[in-house]
């Protein structure tokens, strides 16, 4: 991580290293879809339409190539960058989580206001032994999703949150 | 799913699933039902469902289902012993008229298909009679039954459907008098249980107005209550007039008596109805009408013998008479404020806000008279909005921020357009005071506002000039220039503050909104920073609130300022994560 700005410190815990693989897979899927879309658009442009000037339809093949060339570095960079940014911590009965890469998000959820704690696993997460913990309160802006946790860690965190939420529950909204 | 209640591993159910009846105050973690994720058993399906476990039961007393009340006592209303009741039979006069539009097409179909023969008229008559019988059966098989702790709605038509609404769960009562109902002295009573979705709510369509009032009193008071002193508070308002005495000063008005009797918080004089068109929303009405007419022409044009050629001829004819065009445009422009004012006045006629027995009751409307009751202990703050013209005229609108209120845009309204000082007074009286002035956001936020308001138009202008579309280019440049005052004003609107009990955030220019929310309503914080905000050292700090729109953002605060704002409001939640300072 680059130097911390502002008064907030980094959350203590990193997510699992395998999350990098997860984000890589997701980035690749997105990349394939994007380039595939570009190929379709290029075919359409190169289809000999009257309104499309010749210089454009003649060089339509360059579109997917350009898209691919621009996006490829991000496929590699995004997972690593995310791994550096995504962190979480539970202390003082508050969940503090940071996520994002280009744009960032910090979420603070006090355990006393938690309504549900979900542990979810997608296909890829399952294959990698990862899990996502979704912490919900009465407000979308007070809810947090911690992705890319080791399954064991996620299970323990969810268990702990649920137990503490039961002890602390607080009816104010 | 992991549950805080370790003994309950059912998937898909909510944290709120407490152990059932007899659960003490605050069963379930969820007092705010607007999460929309509830999959637990609904609160009111099937007899004996009793206290639905999923949705927050709030901090009220536990459900006492043991002491079954006799069917007599609960409901005064001068109705004697109160058992299961039917809706008012007068509704049978309304039902056929209401069914008419849906019957029209099939009837026409039958008649046309039958070539208007006597048989076809016979069949049509059977259809009409059938629908009348259906209405009678529906009326006869629907009963409602109010006991001491719950309202039961039973429909025993095809199959039996019983809906039980524990009085504890009722968050508001909505009484509407559509025109036909009003003629017959009837009203529609809607019971808001905060369950989300109209399916979940109880509707009594229709009961007599007296019954509606008495039911409201009984349902809201959760104890036997005498019928309201008829229009005691309403009668006081008759003297108010366009030319009459000024607006009732908020709060200090018409003290009608002790608590159960309504106290008038605000009565909006009719001359303030002229502020209505300032919002701009109604200004579009004539255009909507015109667009509707055009659409109709397109839809029915074929039948009316309108061909493409005749349409083109019509266009050419119009083009040849520019004065006509100008006249129509002038008509539309002058019609805008008039139509807007009329529509606004019809909706907001004689708006009155009363405080009664732990509820705020807002009443309004000329043709359809609507009464909305909001439970005061669920009110967490207020939101005041001003459109650009409204700000210029010094007027504002007021909404309550309420936990678990369905359709909060219309139901939560505390005031229509009124002078700002008046609205602030009512907000202070009805919700609570906010005693601090807002802190401005850093100048870097100004730069960001300006960039966002101006820069997007520049490439459009450049592209337009390059392609030789001078008009588009000039328009884009004009919009870019307009972006400068817009950006300045948007920056001036930005602000946030905390006064020890409530936090407030403000933003927006064309529609400026300031929210004031109690500290206890905050359930978490989200801070977001885009790449551009990061470069400018800004951050958007959103207070998560289990009421109203769910989150109230302080847009583009300084990186330190924003975190300090959250720290100021909820120090315990932020302090563990601060670097080293304080």
Q: Is the pLDDT of residue B195 over 60?
A: no
How much of chain B exceeds pLDDT 90, in percent?
A: 25
Quote the CA–CA distance of B254 and B481 in Å, as a whole number: 51
Interface confidence (ipTM) of the complex: 0.89
In a domain, A154, yes or no: yes
Among A119, A120, A144, A173, the residue to mutate for chain B (most B Cβ within 10 A):
A173
Tokens of B573: 């939640």
Q: Do B35 and A138 touch (CB under 8 A)?
A: yes
| Residue A43, pLDDT score | 83
**Average of per-residue pLDDT across B18-29:** 35
φ, ψ (nearest 5 deg) of residue B531 = -55, -45
Q: Which chain B residues are within 8 Å of A8, Cβ to Cβ?
A: 563, 577-579
**Average of per-residue pLDDT across B371-380:** 86
In a domain, A94, yes or no: yes
Among B10, B19, B24, B29, the residue to mutate for chain A (most A Cβ within 10 A):
B29
Domain final position from A83, A110, A129: A83
Q: Is the pLDDT of residue B7 over 60?
A: no
CA distance A85 to chain B (A): 13
Q: pLDDT class for B305, splitting at 50, 70, 90?
A: low
| Averaged pLDDT of chain B | 74
Whether A146 and A131 map to the same domain: the answer is: yes
| Residue B553, pLDDT score | 94
Quote the CA–CA distance of B199 and A117 in Å, as a whole number: 27
Whether A77 and A116 map to the same domain: the answer is: no
Cβ neighbors of B339 (< 8 A, separation 6 or more) are B282, B285, B286, B289
Residue in B29, B30, B551 closest to A141 by CB: B551
Whether A120 and A107 map to the same domain: the answer is: yes
Residues 307-326 of B with CB under 8 A from A: none
3-state secondary structure of B457: helix
Tokens of B233: 């508070």
Quote the CA–CA distance of B32 and B26 in Å, as a whole number: 11
Among A3, A5, A7, the residue to mutate for chain B (most B Cβ within 10 A):
A7
Tokens of B248: 């009732």
Q: Is the pLDDT of residue B362 over 80?
A: yes
Whether A72 and A101 map to the same domain: the answer is: no
Domain final position from A83, A98, A116: A83
Average the pLDDT over each of A122-136, B11-25, B423-437, B460-474 and give the range with the smallest value.
B11-25
**Of B574, B176, B529, residue with least CA distance to B370:** B176
Residue in B1, B26, B570 closest to A171 by CB: B26
Cβ neighbors of B551 (< 8 A, separation 6 or more) are A139, A140, A141, A142, B526, B542, B543, B544, B545
**Average of per-residue pLDDT across A66-75:** 92
Q: Do B15 and A165 touch (CB under 8 A)?
A: yes
Residue in A4, A110, A119 closest to B524 by CB: A110
**Average of per-residue pLDDT across B567-576:** 92
Residue in B523, B563, B579 closest to A137 by CB: B523
How much of chain B exceeds pLDDT 70, in percent?
A: 73
| Residue B299, pLDDT score | 65
Whether A144 and A99 map to the same domain: the answer is: yes
Neighbours of A139 (CB within 10 A): 30
Cβ neighbors of B66 (< 8 A, separation 6 or more) are none
Q: pLDDT class for B233, splitting at 50, 70, 90?
A: very low
Whether A107 and A134 map to the same domain: the answer is: yes
Residues 520-549 of B with CB under 8 A from A: 520-531, 534, 537, 539, 542-547
- B330-369: buried (b, 16+ CB within 10 Å) or exposed (e) per residue? eeeeebbbebbbbebbebbbbbbbbbbbebbbbbbbeebb
In a domain, A9, yes or no: no
φ, ψ (nearest 5 deg) of residue B214 = -65, -40
Q: Which chain B residues are within 8 Å of A117, Cβ to Cβ?
A: 1-4, 15
Average the pLDDT over each of A153-167, B157-171, B468-482 and give the range with the smallest value.
B157-171
Q: Do B544 and A169 touch (CB under 8 A)?
A: no
Average the pLDDT over each of B198-207, B311-320, B334-343 and give the range with the smallest value.
B198-207
Q: Which chain B residues are within 8 Å of A169, Cβ to Cβ?
A: 4, 26, 29
| Residue B2, pLDDT score | 40
In a domain, A30, yes or no: yes
In a domain, A7, yes or no: no
Residue in B2, B551, B552 closest to A159 by CB: B2
Q: Is the pLDDT of residue A165 over 70?
A: yes
Query: DSSP letter at B276?
Result: G
Q: Which chain B residue lies closest to A132 (C-alpha atoms)?
A: B1
CA separation, residue A162 to residues A14, A166, A171, B4 (Å) = 21, 6, 16, 4
Whether A110 and A63 map to the same domain: the answer is: no
Q: Is the pLDDT of residue B478 over 80?
A: yes
**B470-493 helix and B457-467 helix, angle to the nearest 10 degrees:** 170
Whether A120 and A135 map to the same domain: the answer is: yes
| Averaged pLDDT of chain A | 87
3-state secondary structure of A47: coil
Average the pLDDT over each of B140-149, B165-174, B281-290 and give the range with the smallest value.
B281-290
Q: Do B26 and A103 touch (CB under 8 A)?
A: no
**Angle CA B421–B425–B373, to nearest 5:** 125
Quote the CA–CA distance of B211 and B227 in Å, as a whole number: 8
Task: Give chain A's domain count.
Answer: 2
CA separation, residue B490 to residues B435, B448, B451, B454, B513 (Å) = 23, 10, 12, 12, 11
Q: Which chain A residues are within 8 Å of B542, Cβ to Cβ?
A: 141
Q: What are the structural domains of chain B?
A: 85-221 (2.30.29), 443-577 (no CATH)
Residue in B531, B534, B573 closest to A94 by CB: B573
Q: Which chain B residues are within 8 Å of A137, Cβ to Cβ?
A: 523-524, 544, 546
Whether A67 and A120 map to the same domain: the answer is: no
Quote the CA–CA distance of B519 and B496 in Å, as a whole number: 14
Higher pLDDT, B309 or B251: B309
Neighbours of A34 (CB within 10 A): 16
In a domain, A51, yes or no: yes
pLDDT, tens digit (0-9, with 9 covering 90-100), for B144-154: 888 877 888 88
Quote the CA–CA distance of B57 and B63 in Å, as a whole number: 9
Higher pLDDT, B80 or B381: B381
**Average of per-residue pLDDT across A25-29:** 93
Query: DSSP letter at B439?
Result: B
| Residue B230, pLDDT score | 37
Domain span at A67: 14-83
Average the pLDDT over each of A147-156, B65-74, B521-530 and give the range with the smallest value.
B65-74
Average the pLDDT over each of A142-156, B16-30, B201-215 and give the range with the smallest value.
B16-30
Expressed in percent and rounded to 5, the helix, strand and coil fractions of chain B are 40, 25, 35
In a domain, A139, yes or no: yes
Q: Which chain B residue lies closest to A119 (C-alpha atoms)?
A: B1
Q: Is the pLDDT of residue A15 over 70?
A: yes
| Residue A23, pLDDT score | 94
> Would you put residue A129 in left (φ > 0), alpha (ψ -120 to 50) or beta?
left
**Average of per-residue pLDDT across A3-27:** 87
Q: Which chain B residues are within 8 Å of A162, Cβ to Cβ?
A: 2-6, 15
Average the pLDDT over each of A141-150, A158-167, B22-31 and give the range with the smallest value.
B22-31
Q: Is the pLDDT of residue B530 over 80?
A: yes
| Residue A48, pLDDT score | 65
Domain final position from A54, A83, A112: A83
Average the pLDDT over each of A83-92, B79-88, B493-502 and give the range with the smallest value.
B79-88
| Residue B284, pLDDT score | 67
Residue in B2, B25, B524 closest to A109 by CB: B524
Q: pLDDT class for A151, splitting at 50, 70, 90?
A: very high
Q: Do A107 and B530 touch (CB under 8 A)?
A: no
Q: pLDDT class for A96, splitting at 50, 70, 90?
A: very high
| Residue B47, pLDDT score | 35
In a domain, A173, yes or no: no
Whether A97 and A112 map to the same domain: the answer is: yes
Higher pLDDT, B227 or B182: B182
Do A121 and A158 touch, CB atoms closer than 8 A?
A: no
**Average of per-residue pLDDT across B380-396:** 91
Whether A51 and A109 map to the same domain: the answer is: no
φ, ψ (nearest 5 deg) of residue A167 = -70, -35
Q: Is the pLDDT of residue B426 over 90?
A: yes
Residue in A6, A138, A141 closest to B542 by CB: A141
Query: Pairing state of beta strands A94-100 and A104-110?
Result: antiparallel
Whether A124 and A138 map to the same domain: the answer is: yes
Quote the CA–CA distance of B85 and B58 in Å, as a whole number: 29
Residues 8-37 of B with CB under 8 A from A: 14-16, 25-26, 29-32, 34-35, 37
Tokens of B367: 């043709």
Q: Which chain B residues are within 8 Å of A90, Cβ to Cβ?
A: none
**CATH number, residue A91:** 2.30.29
CA separation, residue B335 to residues A52, B270, B290, B323, B327 (Å) = 45, 20, 12, 18, 12
Tokens of B500: 């020890």
- DSSP letter string, B229-241: -TTHHHHHTTT--
């Amino acid at each position: 991580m680059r130097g911390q700005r502002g008064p907030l410190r980094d959350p203590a815990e990193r997510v699992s290293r395998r999350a990098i693989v997860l984000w890589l897979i997701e980035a690749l899927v997105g990349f394939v879809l994007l380039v595939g879309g570009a190929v379709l658009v290029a075919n359409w442009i190169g289809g000999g339409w009257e309104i499309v000037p010749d210089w454009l339809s003649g060089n339509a093949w360059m579109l997917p190539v350009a898209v691919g060339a621009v996006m490829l570095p991000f496929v590699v960079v995004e997972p690593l960058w995310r791994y550096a940014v995504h962190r979480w911590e539970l202390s003082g009965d508050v969940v503090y989580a940071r996520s994002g890469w280009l744009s960032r998000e910090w979420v603070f959820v006090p355990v006393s206001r938690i309504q549900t704690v979900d542990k979810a696993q997608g296909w890829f997460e399952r294959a990698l032994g990862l899990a996502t913990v979704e912490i919900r309160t009465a407000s979308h802006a007070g809810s947090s999703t911690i992705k890319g946790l080791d399954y064991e860690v996620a299970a323990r965190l969810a268990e702990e949150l649920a137990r503490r939420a039961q002890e602390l529950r607080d009816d104010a909204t | 799913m992991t549950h805080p209640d370790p003994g309950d591993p059912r998937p898909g159910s909510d944290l709120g699933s407490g152990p059932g009846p007899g659960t003490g105050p605050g069963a379930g973690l969820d007092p705010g039902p607007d999460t929309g994720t509830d999959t637990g058993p609904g609160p009111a399906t099937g007899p004996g469902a009793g206290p639905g476990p999923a949705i927050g039961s709030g901090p009220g007393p536990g459900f006492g289902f043991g002491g079954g009340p006799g069917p007599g006592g609960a409901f005064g209303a001068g109705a004697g012993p109160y058992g299961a009741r039917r809706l008012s039979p007068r509704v049978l006069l309304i039902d056929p008229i209401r069914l008419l539009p849906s019957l029209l097409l099939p009837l026409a179909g039958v008649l046309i298909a039958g070539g208007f023969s006597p048989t076809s008229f016979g069949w049509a008559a059977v259809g009409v009679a059938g629908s009348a019988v259906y209405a009678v059966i529906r009326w006869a098989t629907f009963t409602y039954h109010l006991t001491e702790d719950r309202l039961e709605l039973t429909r025993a038509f095809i199959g039996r459907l019983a809906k039980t609404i524990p009085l504890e769960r009722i968050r508001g009562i909505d009484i509407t008098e559509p025109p036909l109902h009003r003629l017959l002295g009837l009203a529609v009573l809607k019971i808001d249980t905060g369950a989300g979705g109209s399916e979940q709510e109880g509707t009594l369509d229709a009961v007599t107005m007296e019954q509606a009032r008495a039911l409201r009193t009984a349902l809201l008071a959760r104890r036997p209550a005498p019928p309201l002193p008829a229009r005691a508070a309403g009668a006081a308002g008759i003297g108010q007039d366009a030319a009459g005495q000024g607006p009732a000063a908020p709060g200090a008005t018409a003290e009608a008596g002790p608590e159960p009797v309504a106290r008038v918080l605000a009565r909006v004089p009719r001359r303030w109805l002229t502020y209505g068109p300032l919002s701009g929303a109604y200004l579009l009405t004539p255009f909507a009408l015109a667009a509707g007419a055009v659409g109709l022409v397109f839809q029915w044009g074929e039948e009316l013998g309108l061909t493409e050629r005749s349409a083109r001829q019509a266009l050419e004819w119009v083009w040849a008479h520019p004065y006509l065009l100008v006249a129509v445009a002038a008509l539309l422009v002058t019609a805008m404020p008039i139509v807007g004012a009329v529509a606004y006045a019809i909706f907001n006629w004689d708006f009155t806000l009363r405080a009664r027995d732990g509820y705020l009751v807002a009443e309004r409307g000329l043709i359809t008279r609507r009464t909305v009751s909001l439970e005061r202990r669920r009110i967490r703050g207020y939101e005041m909005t001003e459109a650009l013209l409204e700000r210029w005229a010094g007027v504002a609108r007021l909404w309550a921020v309420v936990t678990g209120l369905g359709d909060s845009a219309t139901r939560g309204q505390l005031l229509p357009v009124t002078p700002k000082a008046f609205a602030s007074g009512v907000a202070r009286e009805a919700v609570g005071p906010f005693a601090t002035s807002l802190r401005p956001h850093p100048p870097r936020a100004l730069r960001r506002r300006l960039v966002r308001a101006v820069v997007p138009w520049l490439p459009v202008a450049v592209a337009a000039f390059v392609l030789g579309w001078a008009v588009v280019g000039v328009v884009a440049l004009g919009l870019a220039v307009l972006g400068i005052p817009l950006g300045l004003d948007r920056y001036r609107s930005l602000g946030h503050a905390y006064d020890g009990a409530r936090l407030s955030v403000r933003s927006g220019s064309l529609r400026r909104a300031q929210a004031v929310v109690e500290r206890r309503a905050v359930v978490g914080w989200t801070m977001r920073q885009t790449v551009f905000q990061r470069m400018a050292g800004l951050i958007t700090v959103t207070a998560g609130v289990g009421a109203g729109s769910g989150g109230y953002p302080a847009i583009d605060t300084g990186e330190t300022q924003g975190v300090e704002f959250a720290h100021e409001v909820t120090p315990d939640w932020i302090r563990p994560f601060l670097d080293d300072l304080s």
